């Protein structure tokens, strides 16, 4: 990805918009796109619908999108005291191909979110997993039933919310928050812990 951006920077005239498309974005490639500062040029990620891989499954209707654009989640990292931190997910933005506008994706549109409290910059290791949209008999409750295990009801409610459980930052002093929206589109936000 870094090489593609470097090559694009040699183009004359300079582009105003560069769109990178993939079926799934590797965290490193996504980081290259998200962290590149190029004044006057917008860099976007477009996730391709997996149906494009199989001719028989390609969607035939014009109302179905083959490419989706989603912004990084708007997250807040704050201290909870005792050298511990909390992460709250507020929202995310996505591009609506039908209207041509950017729309708000609230937390009610997040199917699952994951938190890596010691992100090494290469591999996402979710140490906390949340199901904000999960109903009473879904998410962790469904898993508990299927495993015939007992799960703390208060914890289940905590894993349904928008605020993480308190955590101590790991040796890399970096966290990663990954969300998957209600359409199955993924987005990643990486933050340094001071």
If you search the block for the tokens 């199917």, which residue do you land on?
111
Do residues 185 and 68 touch, judged by C-beta distance below 8 A?
A: yes
Mean residue pLDDT across the chain: 80
- CATH number of the 72-91+108-194 domain: 2.60.40
Name the residue ranges covered by the structural domains of the chain: 1-70, 72-91+108-194
Band of residue 67 on the pLDDT scale cut at 50, 70, 90: low
User: Which tokens hold the place of 135?
Assistant: 């109903």
pLDDT at 61 over 60: no
Do residues 117 and 194 touch, judged by C-beta distance below 8 A?
A: no
Percentage of the chain lying above the pLDDT 70 cut: 81
Prediction pTM value: 0.65
Least confident span in 17-26, 79-88, 132-141: 132-141
Q: Which phi-psi region, left, alpha or beta, contains residue 168 (left: φ > 0; alpha: ψ -120 to 50)? A: beta
- Give pLDDT tens digits for 111-157: 889 999 999 888 889 999 888 766 666 666 676 777 777 767 677 77
- What pLDDT does residue 176 have? 92
- For residue 106, what are the contacts with CB-CB under 8 A and spacing of at least 6? 91
Cα 97 to the center of its chain, rounded Å: 19
pLDDT at 58 over 70: no
Do residues 67 and 46 touch, judged by C-beta distance below 8 A?
A: yes
d(CA 45, CA 59): 21
Band of residue 108 on the pLDDT scale cut at 50, 70, 90: confident
- What pLDDT does residue 118 have? 95
- What pLDDT does residue 55 have? 62
Band of residue 13 on the pLDDT scale cut at 50, 70, 90: confident
SS3 123: coil
């Amino acid at each position: 990805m870094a090489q593609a951006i470097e090559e694009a920077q040699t183009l004359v005239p300079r582009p105003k918009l560069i769109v990178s498309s993939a079926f799934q974005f590797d965290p490193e490639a996504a980081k290259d796109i998200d962290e590149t500062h190029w004044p006057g040029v917008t860099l976007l990620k477009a996730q391709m619908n997996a149906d494009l891989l199989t001719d028989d499954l390609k969607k035939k209707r014009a109302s179905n999108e083959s490419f989706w654009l989603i912004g990084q989640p708007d997250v807040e990292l704050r201290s909870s005291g005792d050298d511990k931190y909390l992460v709250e997910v507020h929202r995310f933005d996505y591009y609506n191909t039908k209207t041509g506008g950017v729309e708000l994706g609230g937390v009610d549109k997040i199917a699952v979110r994951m938190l890596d409290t010691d992100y090494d910059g290469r591999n996402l290791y979710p140490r906390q997993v949340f199901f904000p949209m999960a109903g009473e008999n879904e998410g962790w409750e469904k898993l508990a039933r299927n495993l015939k295990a007992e799960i703390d009801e208060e914890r289940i409610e905590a894993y349904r919310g928008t605020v993480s459980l308190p955590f101590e930052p790991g040796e890399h002093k970096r966290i990663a928050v990954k969300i998957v929206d209600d359409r199955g589109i993924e987005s990643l936000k990486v933050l340094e812990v001071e």
